[in-house]
Structure 1
Amino acid sequence: MINFAQVGNDLYTGKRSIDFIKRQKTWYALSAVLIALALVGIFVKGLNFGIEFSGGSEFRVQGVTNSQGYEEKAQAAISKSGIEGNVISTIVGQDTVRVQSEAASDRTDEASAALAQQFGVDKSAVSASLIGPSWGQSVSQQAIRGLIVFLILVTIVMALYFRTWKMAVSGLVALLHDLVITVGIYALFGFEITPSSMIGFLTILGYSLYDTVVVFDKVRENTAEAFRTKRMTYSAAANLAVNQTLVRSINTTVVALLPIAAVLFVGFTLLGPGTLLDLSLALFIGIAVGAYSSIFIATPLLVDLRRNEPAVRELAKYVERHGAKPHVAGQQGSPEPAVVGADATGAASGTAAVSSVPSEGGARPVHKYAQPGPRNQPKRAPKSRR
């Protein structure tokens, strides 16, 4: 049986390591395929906007005891009332059928009577409402405006917090990656987009950003240590950061998805279409995609953006030249780095080399060529003559 606690500890200390950075082309290719499919769904198949965006009439038939063939019954009733166009019917809860059709304010009574007759209920059990497209358009405009403001603020805050615009760009690309794939899944599977779905899309951006910032914070800590000690390259330090936060990211994602999955199950089996189901579906898809982008896209992209920086290249050359071994986070007793500028014999240019490890008790460093014996002992003060 796998000991996940031990695996997480090994990933954090560096005993085990998954090379996320060197396989970045694989992750990029996978994301490119997903994004291409999403764009095909969005621009070819199209998005299935709800009645709130397109406008129309909605009827709810309550107390239906026999829902078998409800789609055919709803289509026949709407056609009989003289309303043309596409008819969408779904079961809501246990005994309610929701019917959506083209807007027809002058045919509402006829449609209600026809639905009551088809489903065998009293006319008072059929409720009707007319929804105009202006409300959905207003929600869309507000959502797009909020998205633009959100992305601008995120870019500024991340650039200030991490002190580099490249981390902000990497985080922003991960956010757009999550948004496009989530909307594309809606398009490919024909899920209905409602105002609740729009709220869910904005919510998952915040969750994805949170996960990415946690990983980036560890990347910043490890890479700063790498520049200071020169024990590992920038990419190795970043890869260690992803491994150290991997278990935490997985645990957080699973804990977040479990209650959402429970809501989805209840929504599909008992409640039927509604605000709760629309919101939970968007959250489930977005959180799963956001966890993927935080691990496989954001950090590898950051390393690629910084790969050609002079300091990063100099660090890589130094580590390669001196054969420094990667420093494991939290490891005690790690040797100090070699003296910069020392040649193969240990002598620096024009200066005798001195050991960088102090002797016991904090004594002065001993010269490399010092020999044991009396000549290296401190001279005694001469006795005073009487």
Structure 2
Amino acid sequence: MSKLGSIGARLHRGEVSYDFIGKRKIWFAVSIALVVISLGSLLAKGLALGIEFKGGVEYQAKVKVTHNTVDDVTSAVKSTNAKDLGDPVVTTIGANQVRVQTKPLSQDDIVKVREAIGKEVGVPTDQVSNQQIGASWGSQIANKAILALIVFLILVFGVIWAYFREPKASMAAIIALIHDVFITVGVYALIGFDVTPATVIGVLTILGYSLYDTVVVFDKVRENTRGITGSNRYTYSDATNLAVNQTIVRSINTTLIALMPVGSILVVGTVVLGTGPLKDLSLALFVGIAVGAYSSIFIAPALLAMFKEREPGMQALSRRVLAKRAQAGVTAGTPVAAGAVAGAASAADTTRVQDRPKAASATAGVPTASSRPVRPTSGAGRPQPARKPRSKRGK
């Protein structure tokens, strides 16, 4: 068995554990910092909306891409002095195509820009394609994406509530999902990648991935906490921490396996192709999968434990468990592996039995049972009469 597999087996059995839930203030602080940075990026820089959302004209032409292609084409388009041209966005697609995006233009200005691009890259004007995209279409896409996100969150809340019969689990999962969305969008704002319909698809996809990982952890929590109030071995936080330790190796393995192909697509879409929906989709998936795994391990279970520990029944359980630990000599707040509390309690009980004073029969002047003569017994246990010596028999 590999070293990682051996560690995973010991974590699953509860022989070793890391106190994920006990250190939840650290994880919450990290998440709050990431969310604040994301919000700051959104407010300071905003999202670089693609032409699909803000409208405009897109031109494409075949050209042998060089280091000066972007600058040369940009200068050629600006030299047309088209009305409301603004700053054109020029990017390359692979090694043999250039793409130009401008604001909405009149038909005459569109022809001027096509001619300028064709002249610069050395192709006829009719080989420079153009496509007009209205801003209203982009706003419809944005509104439908927001509506889809809201409907998704509502359905997730209801499904988790129905499956776990626990609204607090739904609340923890929804907060973790919103956390993932904020950080993913913040990364887009920070890096400056264009937000396109492919980005929206990627964001909705990572929500499902993050939710899947969270449900797996919550299912293990439910298994560990079944009938927990009838025992004094674990608090709810202890059982939740054990569930995270039991599933963490699986979460790491699935996350790494998912990130490797997505990372390859991201490199190909960014370095080789330069632009396009492949890059937009892969970035959202890469960031979302990583953040979703983080929230499933560090955020969602900690939130669930925090919500549940506020219930009166769980607070009473915590008091009983802490009292038993103090009696057994286990330090309060120490992450306890499976059976450790019971083992400590058993050892304490054995010690108490060994230290009990002897019974009154062992006091001075009173013979104990072991010091009294024992009459021989038959196999059935009936006492037998004492027999005379052979020399005195018959007298």
TM over 0.5: yes
Distance, in Å, in 2 between the alignment partners of 1:30 and 1:203 is 24
Distance, in Å, in 1 between the alignment partners of 2:216 and 2:180 is 17
Distance 1:9 1:46, change over 3 A: same
Distance, in Å, in 1 between the alignment partners of 2:147 and 2:128 is 38
Aligned equivalent of 2:179, options 171, 177, 180? 177
Distance, in Å, in 2 between the alignment partners of 1:174 and 1:66 is 44
Once the 2 structures are TM-superposed, how far is the Cα of residue 321 of structure 1 from its aligned partner? Answer: 2.4
Distance, in Å, in 2 between the alignment partners of 1:66 and 1:58 is 18
Matched, 1:187 2:186: no
Aligned AA (1:203): T
| Equivalent residue number for residue 114 of structure 2 | 112
Q: Is the contact between residue 70 and residue 89 of structure 1 (CA under 8 Å) also seen in structure 2?
A: no
Q: Is the contact between residue 105 and residue 130 of structure 1 (CA under 8 Å) also seen in structure 2?
A: no
Q: Is the contact between residue 34 and residue 181 of structure 1 (CA under 8 Å) also seen in structure 2?
A: yes
Distance, in Å, in 1 between the alignment partners of 2:336 and 2:34 is 36
Distance, in Å, in 2 between the alignment partners of 1:66 and 1:6 is 52
Distance, in Å, in 1 between the alignment partners of 2:33 and 2:149 is 25
Distance, in Å, in 2 between the alignment partners of 1:87 and 1:119 is 16
Once the 2 structures are TM-superposed, how far is the Cα of residue 65 of structure 1 from its aligned partner? Answer: 2.0
Once the 2 structures are TM-superposed, how far is the Cα of residue 160 of structure 1 from its aligned partner? Answer: 1.6
Once the 2 structures are TM-superposed, how far is the Cα of residue 225 of structure 1 from its aligned partner? Answer: 5.1
Q: Give 4+ residue runs of structure 1 displaced > 4 Å after superposition.
A: 324-329, 371-374
Distance, in Å, in 1 between the alignment partners of 2:273 and 2:73 is 20
| Equivalent residue number for residue 7 of structure 2 | 7
Query: Aligned ranges for residues 92-111 of structure 1 at < 5 Å?
Result: 92-106=93-107, 107-111=109-113
| Equivalent residue number for residue 356 of structure 2 | none
Distance, in Å, in 2 between the alignment partners of 1:215 and 1:117 is 60
| Equivalent residue number for residue 89 of structure 1 | 90
Distance 1:225 1:328, change over 3 A: farther
Structure 1's unaligned 5+ residue stretches are: 339-343, 346-370, 382-386
| Equivalent residue number for residue 256 of structure 2 | 254
Once the 2 structures are TM-superposed, how far is the Cα of residue 311 of structure 1 from its aligned partner? Answer: 1.6
Aligned residues: 343
Q: Deviations 1:332-386 (Å, cap 9, x if unpaired)?
A: xx87x99xxxxx99xxxxxxxxxxxxxxxxxxxxxxxxx9999xxxx999xxxxx
Once the 2 structures are TM-superposed, how far is the Cα of residue 67 of structure 1 from its aligned partner? Answer: 2.4
Query: Aligned ranges for residues 1-386 of structure 1 at < 5 Å?
Result: 3-62=3-62, 64-83=63-82, 84-106=85-107, 107-224=109-226, 226-323=228-325
Once the 2 structures are TM-superposed, how far is the Cα of residue 274 of structure 1 from its aligned partner? Answer: 1.3
Distance, in Å, in 2 between the alignment partners of 1:327 and 1:95 is 62
Distance, in Å, in 2 between the alignment partners of 1:306 and 1:71 is 57
Q: Is the contact between residue 231 and residue 327 of structure 1 (CA under 8 Å) also seen in structure 2?
A: no
Which structure is larger by alpha-carbon Rg, 1 or 2? 2
Once the 2 structures are TM-superposed, how far is the Cα of residue 319 of structure 1 from its aligned partner? Answer: 1.7
Task: Tell me which moved more, 269-278 or 202-211.
Answer: 269-278
Distance, in Å, in 1 between the alignment partners of 2:135 and 2:290 is 32
| Equivalent residue number for residue 393 of structure 2 | none
Q: Deviations 1:32-56 (Å, cap 9, x if unpaired)?
A: 1100000011122111100011111
Once the 2 structures are TM-superposed, how far is the Cα of residue 229 of structure 1 from its aligned partner? Answer: 3.6
Distance, in Å, in 1 between the alignment partners of 2:54 and 2:322 is 62
Aligned AA (2:93): V
Once the 2 structures are TM-superposed, how far is the Cα of residue 303 of structure 1 from its aligned partner? Answer: 1.1
State the identity as a percent.
45
Partner secondary structure for residue 226 of structure 2: helix
Task: Return the TM-score normalized by structure 1.
Answer: 0.83
Task: Return the TM-score normalized by structure 2.
Answer: 0.81
Q: Is the contact between residue 48 and residue 193 of structure 2 (CA under 8 Å) also seen in structure 1?
A: yes
Q: CA RMSD in A?
A: 2.6
Once the 2 structures are TM-superposed, how far is the Cα of residue 105 of structure 1 from its aligned partner? Answer: 3.4
Distance, in Å, in 2 between the alignment partners of 1:66 and 1:204 is 34
Distance, in Å, in 2 between the alignment partners of 1:71 and 1:35 is 35
Q: Is the contact between residue 38 and residue 182 of structure 2 (CA under 8 Å) also seen in structure 1?
A: yes
Distance, in Å, in 1 between the alignment partners of 2:323 and 2:50 is 62
Q: Deviations 1:102-124 (Å, cap 9, x if unpaired)?
A: 11132122111111111223323
Aligned AA (2:12): Y
Task: Tell me which moved more, 3-12 or 228-237.
Answer: 228-237
| Equivalent residue number for residue 357 of structure 2 | none
Aligned AA (1:236): D
Q: Deviations 1:237-283 (Å, cap 9, x if unpaired)?
A: 11010011100111111111111111111112222311222111111
Once the 2 structures are TM-superposed, how far is the Cα of residue 327 of structure 1 from its aligned partner? Answer: 7.9
